[in-house]
Structure 1
Amino acid sequence: MSRIGKKPVAVPQGVTASVDGQTIKAKGPKGELSFVANDDVVVKFEDGAVSVNPRDDSKIARSKWGMSRTMVVNIFTGVKDGFEKRLEISGVGYRAAMQGKNLQLSLGFSHEVVYQVPEGITVAVPKPTEIVVTGIDKQQVGQVAAEIREYRSPEPYKGKGVKYAGEKIVRKEGKKK
């Protein structure tokens, strides 16, 4: 049984929430998000909190219970504070720069990689070796960060490439004579 799903989600200060059937809408200082819960769970809004419960005692309903509650928490956090992912670039000559609304990456290829930033996401480059991806949708922020990292993921011998901030790269030993 879900331990996370049992707890009701309190609506934070400065956020207005509404539940209409299976749709949960949240509006806050950063923007507006909505989430449509699966039909196997029941969503209720009472006493300034959103509670999620399984519709019946089937394994499918119970498996979607905790995830539905977590999605509600994520939309409340997103419209109130937003989400952020930091990426670090390491390698000689590897760097990033903003070119208008596009992210320009020099990653050791014969050409520059130009990444078009999707709507609703903000990308900042405080240093040439650091990229900050921010937005209100947690899934979209993570997807954009993963797509940028995918251009040149870190290699195990020297650790060169694009990695998440705080990510540990498992290093391999090189050839021996």
Structure 2
Amino acid sequence: MVSSSSSPLPPRLQQDSKVTKEQLFYCWMNVSSTLQMEAKFFRFLKLVGVGFKARTEREGRELFLKLGYSHEVQFTAPPAVRVFCFKPNILCCTGLDKDRVHHFAGAVRSCKPPEVYKGKGILYIDEVIKLKPGKKQKK
């Protein structure tokens, strides 16, 4: 039997030999929600491309992106998420709720996902894009 200090599972679930996935999921959600009070979650995005820029307004609540379209793309951050621009091409989405931070960062990235031929678009800062070769020249 596992001691309660080393396992996040409640004592009732530690004694059962068969723990369902649903029980583990709810237990994990409970543990992660208590951990979120202590830590902040970050997601960094990088804008790669000529003329791709970002700016924030209203204390990190409004995000405006110039992505080569005829207009700026505007995002309003959810209440639990803040957005900061370190440079015109580097964004930081931060908040106390991991799911909301990652969901908002994914929504921003979906505006201009990285293309596989030139590597332009919105990438996560730690993301590596494997570029495809272009057309072969005839000789």
TM-score (norm 1): 0.66
Match of 1:170 among 118, 130, 134: 130
Q: Which residue does 1:71 correspond to in 2?
A: 29
Could you tell me how far apart the structure 2 residues matched to 1:169 and 1:75 are?
Answer: 33
Superposed CA RMSD: 2.2
Unpaired stretches in structure 2, ≥5 consecutive residues: 1-5
Q: Which residue does 2:100 correspond to in 1?
A: 140
8 Å Cα contact 1:52/1:68 also seen in 2: no
Equivalent position amino acid for 2:41 in 1: F
After superposition, the C-alpha distances for 1:96-124 in whole angstroms (9 at most, x for unaligned) are: 10132310001111111011111111111
The alpha-carbon deviation at position 57 of structure 1 amounts to 6.7
SS in 1 for 2:133: coil
Could you tell me how far apart the structure 1 residues matched to 2:128 and 2:100 are?
Answer: 23
8 Å Cα contact 1:107/1:152 also seen in 2: yes
Cα separation, partners in 2 of 1:78 and 1:52, compared to 1, 3 Å: farther
Residue pairs, 1:12-161, within 5 angstroms: 44=10, 53=13, 62-100=20-58, 101-161=61-121
The alpha-carbon deviation at position 67 of structure 1 amounts to 2.6
Could you tell me how far apart the structure 1 residues matched to 2:26 and 2:127 are?
Answer: 28
- Specify which structure has the higher proportion of strand: 1
| Identity percentage of aligned residues | 32
TM-score (norm 2): 0.82
Equivalent position amino acid for 1:8 in 2: S
Cα separation, partners in 2 of 1:139 and 1:52, compared to 1, 3 Å: farther
- Which structure has the higher relative contact order (CA within 8 Å, separation 6+)? 2
8 Å Cα contact 1:156/1:170 also seen in 2: yes
The alpha-carbon deviation at position 56 of structure 1 amounts to 7.0
Unpaired stretches in structure 1, ≥5 consecutive residues: 1-6, 10-42, 45-50
SS in 2 for 1:89: strand
Could you tell me how far apart the structure 2 residues matched to 1:167 and 1:113 are?
Answer: 23
SS in 2 for 1:68: helix
SS in 1 for 2:13: strand
After superposition, the C-alpha distances for 1:5-30 in whole angstroms (9 at most, x for unaligned) are: xx523xxxxxxxxxxxxxxxxxxxxx
